[in-house]
Amino acid sequence: TSVTWTLLLFVYFNFSEENQSFKNVPIKGLEPQRPFPKKFYPRFTRGPVHIPELQQKENKIGNPLGNHVQSPVKGQVEFSPEMGMIFNEEDQEVRDLGYQKHAFNMLISNRLGYHREVPDTRDVKCREKSYPSDLPSASVIICFYNEALSALLRTVHSVLDRTPAHLLHEIILVDDNSELADLKKDLDEYVRTQLPKTTKLVRNEKREGLIRGRMIGASHATGEVLVFLDSHCEVNEMWLQPLLTPIREDHRTVVCPVIDIISADTLTYSSSPVVRGGFNWGLHFKWDLVPLSELEGPEGATAPIKSPTMAGGLFAMDREYFNELGQYDSGMDIWGGENLEISFRIWMCGGRLLIIPCSRVGHIFRKRRPYGSPGGQDTMAHNSLRLAHVWMDEYKEQYFALRPELRMRNYGNITDRVELRKRLNCKSFKWYLDNIYPEMQISGPNAKAPQPVFINRAQKRPKIIQRGRLYHLQTNKCLVAQGHPSQKGGLVVVRECDYNDQNQVWVYNEDHELILNNLLCLDVSETRSSDPPRLMKCHGSGGSQQWTFGINNRLYQVSVGQCMRVVDPLSHKGYVTMAICDGSLPQQWHFES
Ligand code: LR7
Ligand code: MN
């Protein structure tokens, strides 16, 4: 079957010397949606600058952004935990809309602008490595559907800022028929006027999904190597050279960077442990610890690691090899399954898949996918069925044992893919399991659901900074659980302080968590920020459980961008709520040891 896609290709050539000098400054009307005080945008100034609007706010309510000044590097805005602070309804709207449409904090994303420094998360030994000078050139392909403009452009600029020009053949943006009108108009103009002409924008006339989207992107590419990225990434220092090197040595090597974590709630960039890709019999991707055997050797922690599967979004592959190996299965729709399909295909058909610890790329990890498929189908099931029937031989029974309802489900025509497997002379799935993923046998059909890469709490106990009472200055009362402090979802209120009561004792730790009586964490829903704070199980991934103590005795919630206040200081009920930080008495708290 041949599928025809009608495309509109927008390649713009009117990039002049003149606008090159403004290249990195957002142009008028194109600032990230709903600009934070205009002056706050990234500029090429060096050293701290004085920002009148900021100063004004500072006088009124204390420095609204903590100690956050322009960083000396390229005039980028320096990240601070209070970056998501809400000043007015417009900020609130950007934040709430962002969660709704993109499932991450768009207010912070917009304020960060299109450039920022990220911590160099590589092992120190990576810095001493040198790479060949004659590496192949790369076409970076970024598919997106309804992406937040600031996240997309930060992805693009991180590539432009941190890739040597001679290695970056082009960037191809594939707009998968996004429905956000602003995104279309603004991006169009931005690409045309602000980006080098080697950044191209391709538009799908109808929604294709990320799998066919990437195939379309690849069909426009002319670089030697294809590099795929999601549309909400930030590449780190020296990210590309370590990926290109093993491909230059053997064009049938496919490589992935280590995927660092960008928090959806705070946009904090943090390091991921080096793990490798696996899967369970439900055909969900999961991360596995790297077997010790893989970690031995002279290169130690910096050596490439063989990975049974890839996460899917971030990898590099020789362009000709991508075509030889059968690109992707064009019968797969929207989202899901293609990562296991290409992983099995790489290993079973004579290639190999490596994770490169010295290459690091951050990705915004969201708690939910903010979009569905056009017809509401479960595309993950459809795509998984196709891959099971083409690649898994008798082991597809393991999948059906978990998903019996899919046994009779129609999965379309797979003749082309079955032929491809024959033509490429690929090995059996049993060979793959025995040689590439021997651990799988042990876990069997009852393997658990996938876990995201969040840093393993078991290994890391946050240090306690302070232990004491949360005292409300205006009412002379203390913050306590309304019910029992072990009750999940329970509200907090202010009550008479009792200095002998363990149930009034809070711990504040280096992860900015507030834990009552060593039991539960103070938490505010990121999506329903009008809900009052509650006690919840500590999840250790920041966001809704991150609090800072700031100027004017405020108690600030990092992901909601607001301060905690007592609703009615005269009421004996003692209810608290989140509100715009204004430095007023009801918002003043003391942590007392
Ligand atoms: O219809 C669509 N059209 C698109 O162009 C749907 C999505 N997309 C774009 C989207 O804008 C994004 O840039 O495709 C990209 C991936 O979609 P996400 O970000 O919603 O996916 P994800 O990060 O939740 O999911 C992971 O698994 C997917 C399975 O199909 C893809 O392989 C994603 O690329 C992959 N992401 C990663 O591997 C990043 C690390 C995550 C982990 C673990
Ligand atoms: Mn993603």
Query: Of the ligands numbered here, which is closest to the C-alpha atom of 152?
Result: 1
Q: Which residue is closest in CA terms to ligand 1's atom 11?
A: 144
Q: Decide if the complex's ipTM is over 0.95.
A: yes
Answer yes or no: do 214 and 245 share one domain: yes
Same-domain status, 317 and 205: yes
User: Are residues 165 and 290 both part of a single domain?
Assistant: yes
CATH number at residue 536: 2.80.10.50
- In Å, what is the CA distance from 19 to each residue of 13, 25, 134? 13, 10, 31
What does each C-alpha distance from 387 to 206, 256, 309, 403 come to in angstroms?
Answer: 24, 21, 14, 14
**Residue of minimum CA distance from atom 42 in ligand 1:** 311
In a domain, 3, yes or no: no
The response to whether residue 26 sits with its C-beta less than 6 Å from ligand 1 reads no
Same-domain status, 205 and 270: yes
Q: Distance between alpha carbon 107 and the CA centroid of its chain, in Å?
A: 15
Q: Residue 149 pLDDT > 80, yes or no?
A: yes
Same-domain status, 405 and 344 = yes
Out of 112, 144, 170, a domain closes at 112
Q: Which ligand is nearest to the CA of 368?
A: 1
H-helix segments, 268-368: 292-295, 319-324, 338-348
Cα–Cα dist 403/387, whole Å: 14
How many CB atoms neighbour CB 35 within 10 A?
A: 16
Q: Is 9 part of any domain?
A: no
Q: How far apart are CA 269 and CA 363, in angstroms?
A: 9
Radius of gyration of the chain (CA): 26
Residue 316, both tokens: 């590099």
- Would the CB of 572 count as within 6 Å of ligand 1? no
pTM of the model: 0.84
Supply the pLDDT for residue 38.
Answer: 30
Task: Report the nearest-CA residue for atom 7 of ligand 1.
Answer: 210
Residue nearest to atom 10 of ligand 1 (CA): 144
Ligand nearest to the CA of 312: 1
- Give the residue numbers spanning the domain of 420: 136-328+335-446
Total number of domains constituting the chain: 3
User: Which ligand 1 atom sits nearest the alpha carbon of residue 310?
Assistant: 38
187 and 284, same structural domain?
yes
Q: 89 lies in a domain?
A: yes
6: in domain: no
Does residue 12 carry a pLDDT above 80?
no
Instruction: List the CATH number of the domain containing 150.
Output: 3.90.550.10
Same domain, 206 and 92: no
**Longest C-alpha distance within the chain, in Å?**
79
Q: By the 8 A CB rule, do 398 and 391 touch?
A: no
**354 and 248 assigned to the same domain:** yes
Q: Which of 146, 183, 207, 210 to mutate to test the pocket of ligand 1 (most atoms within 8 A of CB)?
A: 210
Task: Please indicate, yes or no, whether residues 268 and 367 belong to a single structural domain of this protein.
Answer: yes
* Per-residue pLDDT at 441: 66
Give a yes or no: residue 10 inside a domain. no
Establish if 587 belongs to a structural domain: yes
Asked whether 231 lines ligand 1 (CB < 6 A), one says yes
- Residue at 187 is within a domain: yes
> What is the H or E stretch that residue 273 is in?
none
Per residue in 473-532, pLDDT tens?
A: 999 999 999 999 999 999 999 999 998 999 999 999 999 999 999 999 999 988 777 899
Domain end among 63, 96, 112: 112
Give me the percent of the chain exceeding a pLDDT of 90. 76
- Separation of alpha carbons 537 and 526, rounded Å: 15
Q: Are strands 464-472 and 477-481 parallel, antiparallel or unpaired?
A: antiparallel
Confidence of residue 448 (pLDDT cuts 50, 70, 90): very low
Residues 295, 216: one domain?
yes
213 and 297 inside one domain: yes
- pLDDT tens for 459-488 read 568 899 999 999 999 999 999 999 999 999
Same domain, 469 and 361: no
Q: Measured from the CA of 209, which atom of ligand 1 is nearest?
A: 1
Between residues 371 and 35, the one the model is more confident about? 371
Contacts of 569 (CB under 8 A, 6+ apart): 474, 475, 585, 586
Does residue 378 form part of some domain? yes
Within 13 Å and on the Cβ side, how many CA atoms surround 309?
25
Q: Which atom of ligand 1 is nearest to the CA of 213?
A: 5
